[in-house]
Amino acid sequence: MNQKTTIVISDVHLGCRHLNTAKFERFLDSLPKGCRLVLNGDTLDATHAPLPPEHQRLMERLLPGNPEWETVWIEGNHDQAEALRRNHSLAVHPYLHLREPRKTVILHGACFDVLGNNLKHGIRLFRALHRARIQLGLSDLHFSEYAQRWRAPYWLMRFLVRFNAMRHARRLGASTVICGHVHQQEDIQKKGIRYINTGGWLGEQNFYLEISNGNMTLRQWGGHKTTDRSKS
């Protein structure tokens, strides 16, 4: 990787107890100096809650002005732009357009989640039941872990995000669309549109997109080394 490299990640969820802090910090340490780091939504788990000290230290590295890299923040559904501006004085973008190596749009993808957006009352009920589960002494699972256990609705959510994202790219005349939100990496080419999802950082498998020297490569971060997982 060189200084012109762009790195895209999503769904870090700083503030969430399920984030492997040490692993994510090693990932940041591995980034090339002077690269552009695009944080594609849900970098924070919640914008109003104070961060634990080890997460606050990571947050400070992701703020604009860090000489290690240029940071670009894109809003997610957990860290919406208005709240980030108000609580953290951050300039946050709804999306990012790239023209090299090909016309590309980067956005979190929650706007494409028709299933989740239409089930907001059900999500509130789920959160209440989850709190009750913890009070009963049962294991504390993150929402993404529940989603992956409920295979049918989770498959449908991923399909809708992917379908709507690719349709959005086609309307814009873009050949590539990069999202997060679903906590599952994907790299799919269909009818001239490439859909890339960079997954998230709350599970065992963590991914990032490297854009360098005219190529886009989805890579898995294994804690100390990377693995190429791109399909095209």
Report yes or no on 48 lying in a domain: yes
Q: How much is the pLDDT for 228?
A: 60
Report yes or no on 156 lying in a domain: no
Q: How much is the pLDDT for 124?
A: 59
Report yes or no on 143 lying in a domain: no
| 105 within 8 A of 178, measured Cβ to Cβ | yes
Report yes or no on 63 lying in a domain: yes
Q: What is the CATH number of the domain that holds 22?
A: 3.60.21.10
Q: How much is the pLDDT for 232?
A: 43
Stretch (H or E) spanning 228: strand 226-228
CA 170 from centroid of its chain's CA atoms: 22
Q: How much is the pLDDT for 139?
A: 63
Report yes or no on 152 lying in a domain: no
Is 18 exposed, middle or buried (CB count within 10 Å of its CB: 0-12, 13-18, 19+)? middle
Report yes or no on 39 lying in a domain: yes
pTM value? 0.85
Report yes or no on 185 lying in a domain: yes
Q: How much is the pLDDT for 133?
A: 57
Report yes or no on 60 lying in a domain: yes
Q: How much is the pLDDT for 19?
A: 93
The whole domain housing 23 covers 6-110+174-228
| 43 within 8 A of 62, measured Cβ to Cβ | yes
User: Structurally, how many domains does the chain consist of?
Assistant: 1
pLDDT in tens, the chain (232 residues): 444 799 999 999 999 988 999 999 999 999 998 999 999 999 999 888 899 999 999 999 999 888 999 999 999 998 988 888 888 888 899 999 998 778 999 999 999 998 876 555 445 555 555 566 556 666 666 666 666 666 788 888 899 999 999 999 999 999 999 999 999 999 999 999 999 999 999 988 999 999 998 899 999 998 665 556 565 4
